[in-house]
Structure 1
Amino acid sequence: MSDFLKHFRSKQLGEGTEKVMKTQCPYCSVQCSMDLLEEKIVTRKRFKAKPNKKDPTSQGLMCIKGANAHQHVFHGERITHPLLKIDGEFVRIPWELALEFIAHQFKTLQEQYGTDTVGVYGGGSLTNEESYLLGKFARVALKTKYIDYNGRFCMSAAATAMNAAFGIDRGLSNSLSEIPDSKCIILVGTNIAECQPTILPYFRKAKKNGAFIIVIDPRETATSKLADLHLQVKPGMDAYISNGMLKVIMDEGYLDKEFIQNRTNYFEEIKEQIDSIDLLETAKESGVSVEQIVEAARQYGKAASGFIFTARGVEQHAHGYENVRQFINLVLATGKIGKYASGYGAITGQGNGQGGREHGQKADQLPGYRSIENEKDRSYIAKVWGMEESELPRKGVSAYEMMEKIDAGEISSLFVMASNPVVSNPNSIFVERALQKLQFLVVADMFVSETARMADLILPSSTYLENEGTMTNLEGRVILREAKRKPPNEVKHDWQILCELANALGCDTGFTYKSAEDIFNELRVASKGGRADYSGITYNRLREEGIFWPCPKVSHPGTSRLFDDTFAHEDGKALFYPLKKPLLMEIVTDKYPLYLTTGRIMEHYLSGTQTRRSPDLMKRYSEPLLEIHPETAAKYGIEDNTLLQLQSERGSMIIRSKYSDKIRRDTIFAPFHWGDSQSINRVTDPTLDPFCKMPEFKVCAVNILPLLEKKLVHQGQGGMAYEAMD
């Protein structure tokens, strides 16, 4: 830097024209911390994000999304005041009128149809405080049983599987810091290089240290490039591989018999099943050779330590729960858990996907990961909330099932906070039609999303730079996100909206918090003694460093590794699960001859409501692209970089082709970050997992048709649509 620039920089600082905001990326589950530098040069402001070198999780790294996360905060389409729809147009109204109108509508509908006629739909990006408060708001202020959130589509299969197998669900059983010393790592249906890129160095270090890395994925990805062995499985057939590996591990003597005997139950019940596994059938059904399955089993079986990590590729199925249980069987059979550099983890997707499901915005849960159907749990939370246990609603239904309840008329009004269900739900054409049947729809958001566009009333909420609160990252580490920037004048924090709306509904007590920290202190009490015990965590402690839960006392250091001595079931043992052969909900036919699978890309996040309002991210990836093998494309007359129509039994969408020789010839791939005619969820399958209610996002049968040339037009909602050219 020249002497002049140094002098100018010093002058800027001296005149107070440079501000530094300590914050966290609002996107994925790594929750990378950073400093956002705001410089004022004459009349123009310039922002630059700088990663925090002391961050214990990201270790001073930041991805392209984090570097540009601030752009949506200052976007011109941001909502800054309540909007009421009158004659099809949104009109600005004061907050007092908005709250009064919502309360009147909810009360009127509940008097007519009962308390459960109002539903609440939350989001996995809410802070722990707001997740907790949303659950309390639904059950105390609205007295409804119908509450769920978009995290149902993220972690429900793995969460249900972990609870069943281990007695507790925390994303990773160990801290990320142990990964570099592990000797074998299996990554199933996860593309961390694009979805959580700042943790990729942990795996690179492991490889440098001699780890054997196995990737199971239908696509060649940036993550699979790191692999020593890539098993290019047929979509949805992952469990065949895990079961085949288990047979090899047993036949070749890699079982940890002492661990099985002392720390698990039900292995004897599955031994006979293991004997009956046919590796040739396994190879045929999975699309992976016998030799590769055997090699994977030997490498994992003989390794002194090892991790298995799963993500949405193996979890987002109508048999996602059972898929995960099969891979947990491998962990238990080899004793690779509860010790250094060995364990299991589900790579959480959403920013607060972990904390969001722990404190009560999921249909069947109460704070602290308690069960809403457990009498002891109900009694405890009722006391914390100052109500009779009998007044506490029972469990409701899952996120997609709420859409079905709306379609059937059982839910007549919906309150949506920090979510975009029109884009994120499967079978989204049906979802949009269902929402049109609502008598009253309220959305709290930063932008007029595809869902907010349908609302009767929109409430403006604050962004990550403005809203203080705690998040729980993929490790189970609770971290404090401070926020020094003031929101625009009429914008409120989500927790403030909930408090004021509760008061408007007649709740004079229980919603009088003055800060996010006040809510967190109540959350600590509510979680005490639960599976997810935060009672020993305080804001003061978090200002020094993040803390792993469970943390039952202020003097407790937090628990970075689970299951060292015992699992969370009453007898302290983990549970094996019967072997299952996965069945596809849809198979290819002459009419629908290809398998579609979906996923994320590095530049965008979830439904794209925020990232599609980042100019730099949109420059890098402006529309969804369909990955298709060139040989497959030739068979169906699809040229590279041309528009096509993708069809399933549920509907169709429009997308541009992108040739890729890194995908199976029977499979095509599309990202899910766009709405309207570009929404891939217009075609996905809503069949639900019977255990966790995860939809079958990852596999459906489709066909493809080339389209006539069209032009791209901006919709004004951060998205695009296609219009036929004259």
Structure 2
Amino acid sequence: MHLSASAATPTHCPYCALQCGMTLTPDASDAGVSVAGRADFPVNRGALCGKGQSAAAVLSPGVRLTTPLVRSAAGVLEPAGWEEALDAVAAGLSRTRTGHGADACAVFGGGGLTNEKAYALGKFARIVLGTSQIDYNGRFCMSSAAAAGQLAFGLDRGLPFPLEDVPRTGCVILVGSNLVETMPPAMRYLTELRENGGTLIVVDPRRTRTAEQADLHLAPRPGTDLALALGMLHLVVAEGRVDESYVRERTRGWEQARAGVMAHWPEYVERITGVPLPQLREAVRLFTEPEHAMVLTARGPEQQAKGTDTVGAWINLALATGRPGTPLSGYGCLTGQGNGQGGREHGQKADQLPGYRKLTDPAARAHVAEVWGVDPNSLPGPGRSAYELLDALGGDIRSLLVMASNPVVSAPRAAHVEERLRSLDFLAVADVVLSETAELADVVLPVTQWAEESGTTTNLEGRVLLRRRALTPPAGVRSDLDVLHGLAARLTPGLEKGFPVDPEEVFEELRRASSGGPADYAGISYDRLARGDALHWPCPDPAHEGTPRLFLDGFATQDGRARFAPVTHRPAAEEPDAEYPVYLTTGRVVAQYQSGAQTRRVAELNKAAPGPFVELHPRLAARLGIAEGDTVAVTSRRGRALAPARLTGSIRADTVFMPFHWPGAGRANTLTNPALDPTSRMPEFKVCAVRVAKAG
């Protein structure tokens, strides 16, 4: 038991980017607290999904790490003291840095880290290790949407408007998102949209539980979302539905984009996507007739080797119809991970400095270097993106520090990534549980969880939130900030002063580092957040009320105009052929989260979703002689996975689906293609070619 408070503590859920408000009340359970939804928080209004309701279960000592582990000479992870463990990590990193140079040390972070931890981790990599080799698993989340948003609007924030605007618009096109299973409390906004007379269009190869609630479901072949968006925009032009005054006054690049669109006539798009022309026409009518409308994208169009162009095409559709930067309209991305937004704003990403500054910008380097008290020229340049970093392990990268990520399960071509991790000279992992990645480590550091520490996160609306400490951590557990402080003291004595363990002290420095940047937090403080202020960045000074709605007065480009993306359709990096004739697409289920490292330790969630499966259409199953529950072998050019068959008419007959939460034989990411988007460096998780057969 580790109670620290007698009263209820208002805080936020540790899982997805909704960051639902919840209250923790001390009790006598193993976890030490009970969880209830907070009706006063505007995002979830008291609702919690099963993951949120059971979030306290992972706090129980029986399911989490409570002592450091160091690998013995016999190759076994054994309990150790903190000083021994930190000494071992520092020694491993020092050996590599001395023998191979700073860039032979790498850091891999996570989208669940608080803003303070993400900031400190980026700072640690660049001024303690001196390495350029840092990225994080958020690269696998919404990097394509971020890149497309930067190109179109000059700024990326998941939603440039609050969720409360969604029910008040006239039509929403939801592309590649299954909110019923991934963010259940957010589904109410789409339900209210329809109750208010608005329409919902869902684009997904599967007829998901979300698609079932749509007024119109478009089911394109995997990897053809780009062609679908281009075909819809072709019809907008052909039917005279372009908002000509908006395009003329608020955008640039329309003529070039229009020329590309006109090559994608509807019948051609119908052949590519498999979406019937009448459905295309109906989608265009539903989207253009209301005064207000929105396009919302998620992992479906983003996790492709052409994800940036695909999102750009959907943004083009919104721009041509006059939606972005107008009330109750626009384009937005549904960020996935808990702090996926804040995690990339403040320095975990290979090419960014705090405040969403570019690492290649001399002025940005000078500003951040001054805050850090270092020479700007000492800061390394951009490093490798997430998959490229993982692929280089055991080559010119010899040591790796992982915080809050489990790439053995979550990375594409996962068997190869696991092999690369095993080839390292040294691997250290800081996590709350013994994940599949931690099991490979030379040193494992047990760190505090969301309810045991204070810190800020930034949800998908750009709303900065304060998580409050409700519990005292168990003995033997330290915070990630404490870990970085201890390592800095060992690696570069004296620099530890720049790595305080108090999260509020870190946040105060983050405010200064972000000041003047695109993601400006200078006006946000713990005091303001504790008073319940709903502060959306940018918030440049303490008198500023925050910015819940971006772009109403102009876009964040040099001339204030949005840019059309000059895009055309191209096939997926890997299309079905005679040897691998079926599409595979991957995704999530409601009872598990990301790599499952935490949720797979919760009994009630495992009861609801006990293991992997292969979803396939009955016609495909009949052709292959597969019955419900049969073990199915799914094979790609990268490996083979085994899982029970689940037959359903809700998926295309040329496609199979696997959730990616599990390790072992059913690991979906053994199969996925690491082909990268040239701009965002996003791997092509959402489409690859596979062979499907009943297992012998």
TM-score (norm 2): 0.97
> What's the CA shift for 1:49?
1.9
Q: Is the Cα–Cα contact under 8 Å of residues 630 and 661 in structure 1 kept in the other structure?
A: yes
Q: Which residue of 2 aligns with 1:39?
A: 27
Structure 2 SS opposite 1:357: helix
Aligned pair partner of 1:443 in 409, 429, 435: 429
Q: Mapping of 1:346-425 within 5 angstroms?
A: 346-407=333-394, 409-425=395-411
Amino acid at match of 2:399: S
> What's the CA shift for 1:75?
4.9
Q: Which residue of 2 aligns with 1:12?
A: none
Residue deviations 1:85-133 (CA, integer Å, cap 9, x gap): 1112111111112212221221121111111100000000000000000
Q: Which residue of 2 aligns with 1:53?
A: 39
Aligned pair partner of 2:614 in 609, 626, 634: 626
Structure-2 separation of matches of 1:641 and 1:613 = 24
**1:589/1:513 CA distance change after superposition, 3 Å:** same
Asked if 1:647 is matched to 2:635, the reply is yes
Q: Is the Cα–Cα contact under 8 Å of residues 503 and 511 in structure 1 kept in the other structure?
A: no
Q: Which residue of 2 aligns with 1:304?
A: 291
Q: Which residue of 1 aligns with 2:626?
A: 638
Aligned pair partner of 1:582 in 560, 570, 573: 570
Structure-2 separation of matches of 1:662 and 1:40 = 44
Amino acid at match of 1:612: R
**1:577/1:552 CA distance change after superposition, 3 Å:** same
Structure-2 separation of matches of 1:36 and 1:552 = 32
Structure 2 SS opposite 1:568: coil
Q: Which residue of 2 aligns with 1:291?
A: 278
Q: Is the Cα–Cα contact under 8 Å of residues 154 and 312 in structure 1 kept in the other structure?
A: yes
Amino acid at match of 1:310: T
> What's the CA shift for 1:40?
2.9
Q: Which residue of 2 aligns with 1:262?
A: 249
Structure-2 separation of matches of 1:222 and 1:620 = 16
Amino acid at match of 1:462: T
Structure-2 separation of matches of 1:526 and 1:633 = 56
Structure-2 separation of matches of 1:574 and 1:349 = 25
Aligned pair partner of 1:468 in 430, 444, 454: 454
**1:643/1:75 CA distance change after superposition, 3 Å:** farther
Structure 1 SS opposite 2:498: coil
Structure-2 separation of matches of 1:18 and 1:558 = 33
Structure 2 SS opposite 1:242: helix
> What's the CA shift for 1:582?
2.8
> What's the CA shift for 1:277?
2.5
Structure-2 separation of matches of 1:481 and 1:36 = 11
Structure-1 separation of matches of 2:601 and 2:501 = 32
Asked if 1:108 is matched to 2:95, the reply is yes
Asked if 1:192 is matched to 2:179, the reply is yes
Q: Is the Cα–Cα contact under 8 Å of residues 88 and 443 in structure 2 kept in the other structure?
A: no
**1:588/1:275 CA distance change after superposition, 3 Å:** closer
Structure-1 separation of matches of 2:371 and 2:633 = 53
> What's the CA shift for 1:251?
1.6
Q: Which residue of 2 aligns with 1:495?
A: 481
Amino acid at match of 2:34: K
Aligned pair partner of 1:668 in 653, 656, 664: 656
Structure-2 separation of matches of 1:574 and 1:568 = 8
Structure-2 separation of matches of 1:438 and 1:326 = 41
Q: Mapping of 1:482-521 within 5 angstroms?
A: 482-509=468-495, 510-521=497-508
Structure-1 separation of matches of 2:661 and 2:494 = 40
> What's the CA shift for 1:313?
0.6
Q: Is the Cα–Cα contact under 8 Å of residues 31 and 59 in structure 2 kept in the other structure?
A: no
**1:17/1:390 CA distance change after superposition, 3 Å:** closer
Amino acid at match of 1:224: A
Structure-2 separation of matches of 1:219 and 1:18 = 47
Q: Is the Cα–Cα contact under 8 Å of residues 214 and 231 in structure 1 kept in the other structure?
A: yes
Amino acid at match of 2:311: V
Asked if 1:319 is matched to 2:282, the reply is no
Structure-2 separation of matches of 1:544 and 1:504 = 38
Structure-1 separation of matches of 2:675 and 2:211 = 29
Q: Which residue of 2 aligns with 1:141?
A: 128
Aligned pair partner of 2:154 in 161, 167, 171: 167
Structure 2 SS opposite 1:647: strand
Structure-2 separation of matches of 1:48 and 1:518 = 29
Structure 1 SS opposite 2:71: strand
TM-score (norm 1): 0.93
Aligned pair partner of 1:205 in 183, 188, 192: 192
Structure-2 separation of matches of 1:434 and 1:102 = 19
Residue deviations 1:273-295 (CA, integer Å, cap 9, x gap): 33333211100101101111111
> What's the CA shift for 1:496?
1.2
> What's the CA shift for 1:19?
5.5
Amino acid at match of 2:256: E
Q: Which residue of 1 aligns with 2:536?
A: 548
> What's the CA shift for 1:256?
1.1
Amino acid at match of 2:112: S
Structure-2 separation of matches of 1:403 and 1:53 = 42
Asked if 1:563 is matched to 2:551, the reply is yes
Structure 2 SS opposite 1:40: coil
Q: RMSD over aligned Cα, in angstroms? A: 1.5
Residue deviations 1:344-376 (CA, integer Å, cap 9, x gap): 111000000000010000000000000001111
Q: Is the Cα–Cα contact under 8 Å of residues 19 and 39 in structure 1 kept in the other structure?
A: no
**1:487/1:313 CA distance change after superposition, 3 Å:** same
Structure-1 separation of matches of 2:675 and 2:219 = 25
Q: Is the Cα–Cα contact under 8 Å of residues 227 and 264 in structure 2 kept in the other structure?
A: no
> What's the CA shift for 1:507?
4.1
Amino acid at match of 1:254: R
> What's the CA shift for 1:661?
0.7
Q: Which residue of 2 aligns with 1:722?
A: none
**1:399/1:46 CA distance change after superposition, 3 Å:** closer
Q: Is the Cα–Cα contact under 8 Å of residues 236 and 582 in structure 1 kept in the other structure?
A: no
Q: Is the Cα–Cα contact under 8 Å of residues 135 and 361 in structure 1 kept in the other structure?
A: yes
Q: Is the Cα–Cα contact under 8 Å of residues 222 and 585 in structure 2 kept in the other structure?
A: yes
Q: Mapping of 1:58-77 within 5 angstroms?
A: 58-77=44-63
Structure 1 unaligned runs (5+)? 1-15, 709-726
Residue deviations 1:353-405 (CA, integer Å, cap 9, x gap): 00001000000000000000111111111111100011000000111101221
Q: Which residue of 1 aligns with 2:694?
A: 706
Asked if 1:612 is matched to 2:589, the reply is no
Structure-1 separation of matches of 2:7 and 2:551 = 44
Q: Is the Cα–Cα contact under 8 Å of residues 488 and 499 in structure 2 kept in the other structure?
A: no
Structure-1 separation of matches of 2:570 and 2:336 = 24
Structure-2 separation of matches of 1:150 and 1:274 = 34
Structure 2 unaligned runs (5+)? none
Amino acid at match of 2:297: T
Residue deviations 1:594-629 (CA, integer Å, cap 9, x gap): 110000111010000000000110011110121111
Amino acid at match of 2:414: S
> What's the CA shift for 1:511?
2.7
> What's the CA shift for 1:302?
1.9
> What's the CA shift for 1:700?
0.8
Structure-1 separation of matches of 2:483 and 2:31 = 30
> What's the CA shift for 1:557?
0.5
> What's the CA shift for 1:589?
2.0
Q: Which residue of 2 aligns with 1:603?
A: 591
Q: In terms of mean alpha carbon deviation, does 355-364 or 243-252 score higher? A: 243-252
Structure-1 separation of matches of 2:27 and 2:490 = 41
Q: Is the Cα–Cα contact under 8 Å of residues 24 and 470 in structure 2 kept in the other structure?
A: no
Structure 2 SS opposite 1:674: coil
Structure 2 SS opposite 1:406: coil
Aligned pair partner of 1:458 in 425, 444, 451: 444
Structure 2 SS opposite 1:80: coil
> What's the CA shift for 1:506?
1.7
Amino acid at match of 1:516: P
Q: Is the Cα–Cα contact under 8 Å of residues 520 and 539 in structure 2 kept in the other structure?
A: yes
Q: Is the Cα–Cα contact under 8 Å of residues 118 and 146 in structure 1 kept in the other structure?
A: yes
**1:45/1:291 CA distance change after superposition, 3 Å:** closer
Structure-2 separation of matches of 1:64 and 1:207 = 25
Q: Percent identity?
A: 44
Aligned length: 691
> What's the CA shift for 1:707?
2.5
